[in-house]
Amino acid sequence: MVDNKRLAIFGGKAVRQKPFPQRFLFNHKEKKIVNKLLDHSIRTGKQIRYSGEYQKKYQNKFNKFMGSIGYSHCVNSGTNALLCCLGALGLKKNSEVIVPSLTDVGCITPVILMGLKPIPADIDVFSFNINIEQIKKKITAKTKAVIVAHIGGEVANIIEIKKFLQKKNIYLIEDCSQSHGSEINNIKVGNFGAISFFSTMSSKLHCTGGTGGVVYSRNKKLIKLSQMFADRGKLLDKNGNFSGKYTNFGINCTLDEISAAIGCVQIDKLKKNIKKTNVMGETIKRKLQDINSPSKIKNQIENTFNVYWFLRIDLDIKKISVSKKKYCEALAKEGVNLSEKYRYNPFEHQWFKKYLKESRLKYKIPTFINYENSLKNQYIIFIRENYTKKDISDIFNSIKKVDSFYKI
Mean pLDDT of 157-172: 98
CB 281 within 8 A of CB 306: yes
Tell me what percent of the residues of the chain surpass a pLDDT of 90: 83
Task: Give the helix, strand, coil percentages of the chain, each rounded to 5.
Answer: 40, 20, 40
Return the CATH fold of 270-406: Aspartate Aminotransferase, domain 1 (3.90.1150)
Topology agreement, domain 28-265 and domain 270-406: no
Sheet holding 338-339, edge to edge: 295-296, 310-315, 378-382, 338-339
Chain centre distance of CA 194: 18
Task: Indicate the average pLDDT of the chain.
Answer: 93
Give tens-digit pLDDT for 38-68: 999 999 999 999 888 999 999 999 999 999 9
Lowest mean pLDDT among 80-94, 289-303, 308-322, 391-405: 289-303
28-265, what's its fold? Aspartate Aminotransferase; domain 2 (3.40.640)
At 244-257, the pLDDT tens digits run 777 788 999 999 99
Q: Classify burial at 343, counting beta carbons within 10 Å of its beta carbon; exposed 0-12, middle 13-18, buried 19 or more.
A: exposed
Domain ranges in the chain?
A: 28-265, 270-406
Rounded Cα gap, residues 267 and 50, in angstroms: 19
How many other CB atoms are there within 10 angstroms of residue 105's CB atom?
14
Neighbours of 359 (CB within 10 A): 12
State residue 362's pLDDT score: 65
Taking the C-alpha atoms of residue 8 and residue 124, their distance in angstroms, rounded to an integer, is: 34
Tell whether pTM > 0.85. Answer: yes
Residue 35's CB is within 10 A of a number of other CB atoms, namely 11
pLDDT at 245: 76
Q: How far apart are the first and last CA of the chain?
A: 29
Distance CA 279, CA 289 (A): 15
pLDDT of amino acid 27: 95
